[in-house]
Structure 1
Amino acid sequence: MLTAHAGHAAGAVPPVALVPLGMFWLYLAAALRQRDPGRPGWSHRRTASFGLGAALLAAGLAWPGDDLPGHMWQHLLLGMLAPLALMLGAPGTLALHTLDRRTGRAAVRLLRHPAARVAAHPVTGLVLTAGGLWLLYLTPLYRASLDSPALHGLVDLHFVLAGYLFSWSIAGPDPGPHRPRVPVRLLVLGVAVAAHATIAQLLYAGLLVDVPATGDELRAAATVMYYGGDLAEILLALALLVAWRPDRLPARAAVRA
């Protein structure tokens, strides 16, 4: 997943693993600018979350994916946990605070475009994340990625971006196109949980999957996907519920009173 493939020397950090450090440096520089006079400041909690996400991303990029369980740990870090932490850092909001007004308004207009609304819908993120997993393990794509570092990198990039898009569409603090109501987003998240659990069970049983691995490797990888995926999705649900502010509840309570 954005990795330098499984061939990097033991103990060596692939150069691509340094990219998240550069991302965090840019984020931190923008956050520090918000402390200038006349600016509102920036949340230390958001900064810490983005820093954690960058660290998880770097760890995933440096993780040796020599076998299927190692590959699954990479997917968990790069496709689920790192995007969640990065998303909670609200980098889009920070960028809008940093950009000049003209550029910021242009960015907001772009987000209001109908195509952006479709791309940012939780169902789109679901198709890209869960659908990508099914495509990877139930077709020859995984085998092909083992023999092609370029394809392997593209697959990894897909999961990082798709994971971020899905997390953001469910519980992102950044501004964006109109999101469905919280119950709809929870329903989509529930479908994602079921999709991850199903592919994990297929891997565990060795059914329908096209993966060159022993039975023990299949079971170990499926266990990582099943329990690690549940953890990431529970954290995402908590992030959504913590940020949820049901506007109509006070009004209903007042009517009942």
Structure 2
Amino acid sequence: MQVELVVAAGSIQDLPPFGAGTFWSQWGLEPLPLVVTVWATGLYLVGVASLRRRGDAWPVGRTIAWLIGMLAFYVATSSGLAAYDTVLVSVHMVQHMVLSMVVPLSLALGAPVTLALRTLPRTPRGWLLAVLHSRVAKVLGFPPLAFALYVLSPWALYFSGWYDASLRSTYVHEMMHVHLVLVGALFFWPIVGVDPLPGRVAHPFRVLLTVLTLPFHAFLGVTIMGQSTLLGGDWYPSLHDGPLGAWLPDPAADQRLAGGILWGAGDLVGLVFFVVLFAQWVRSSVKEAQREDRRLDRLERREQLEHQRLAATEGAPPERPPSE
């Protein structure tokens, strides 16, 4: 294990001190994030263009939300955040929050499933509908299960051997990124409620689930800040023995900063999401009120027509019997 640590640390030995400049100068062309970003963005824009060619409208806000989500994903996995996420646990925590909250929330607001259902040919649309109505989708979309996965996964990540393994294995590291996005999507997608997915619940319950996530992030952040055991074991202290030791901060101090980032960023994004849900709730209530007004108007017009018909029938002269 020590040999593997030295080899992995050797790949990052020439990094300069982390800062705003290195965030831009340490970009890398990682194949998987680049391919995912290009294809996901391209297919989405092709779908939007297809709708517009046939005269159908698609909200600009949804397109912007999707582009923001894909940009956040690419930045988190290819910028200086990715270059330093195994050097500074505080940088990793920023990446964690972007992948688990900003990316899933933005992509969910983009409503890609709705776009796909409106633009795909009949056969692929049937496949997508079969997946959406499958038992697996219903189980994964069950709100309490998605909530449990979302709030418990970070505890499993940082208080088991998983995080230590992600530092020493490129494969585990990439799978951790995938896991953060997928678990975030399972939680945010049904709650946002834009796409026709299993697990959608009423707006009050969506707000409740969002509020319940806030203390979990805060408690985890405070726990990381206060514990004396370092995340990743001897990984971060060992980096001080190489060239990075000239500028690396104390691992314990960096870990306290990471816990504060988790606490503060989790609450901030949670509050933003709360505002989004509240706005959706108000908009839904307004639309429901408008539908109810239209229904009452139709009933009133029907009653008026019925009243006029009865009045006309009662005021009509009696019919003459047929002549013999």
The equivalent position to 1:44 in structure 2, one of 52, 60, 68, is 60
- Structure 1 partner of 2:239: none
- Structure 2 partner of 1:25: 42
The answer to whether the 8 A contact 1:34-1:40 is kept is yes
| Rg larger in structure | 2
Q: Work out which structure has the larger RCO, using CA pairs closer than 8 Å and 6 or more positions apart in sequence.
A: 1
The answer to whether the 8 A contact 2:76-2:95 is kept is yes
Q: Deviations over 1:51-104 (max 9, x none)?
A: 111111111002231210011011111111111111111111111111123432
* TM-score, length of structure 2 as denominator length: 0.69
Aligned mates of 2:157, 2:189 — CA distance in 1:
23
The equivalent position to 1:53 in structure 2, one of 69, 82, 85, is 69
Q: What's the CA shift for 1:12?
A: 3.8
- Structure 2 partner of 1:229: 266
* TM-score, length of structure 1 as denominator length: 0.86
Structure 2 residue 223 is the aligned partner of structure 1 residue 197: no
The equivalent position to 1:238 in structure 2, one of 275, 278, 281, is 275
Q: What's the CA shift for 1:207?
A: 5.9
SS at match of 2:63: helix
- Structure 2 partner of 1:34: 51
- Structure 2 partner of 1:68: 89
Aligned mates of 1:94, 1:26 — CA distance in 2:
10
The equivalent position to 1:14 in structure 2, one of 29, 35, 50, is 29
Map 1:92-241 to 2 at 5 A.
92-206=113-227, 210-212=231-233, 214-241=251-278
Q: What's the CA shift for 1:208?
A: 7.1
Question: Residues 44, 209 of structure 1: CA spacing in aligned structure 2 closer, same or farther, 3 A cutoff?
Answer: same
How many pairs does the alignment contain? 247
| Structure 2 unaligned regions, length at least 5 | 1-7, 16-25, 237-250, 297-324
Aligned mates of 1:92, 1:177 — CA distance in 2:
12
Give the AA of the match of 1:22: W
Q: What's the CA shift for 1:215?
A: 1.9
Q: What's the CA shift for 1:22?
A: 2.8
Q: Deviations over 1:181-208 (max 9, x none)?
A: 2222222222221211111010010167
Q: What's the CA shift for 1:248?
A: 7.4
- Structure 1 partner of 2:312: none
The answer to whether the 8 A contact 1:130-1:195 is kept is yes
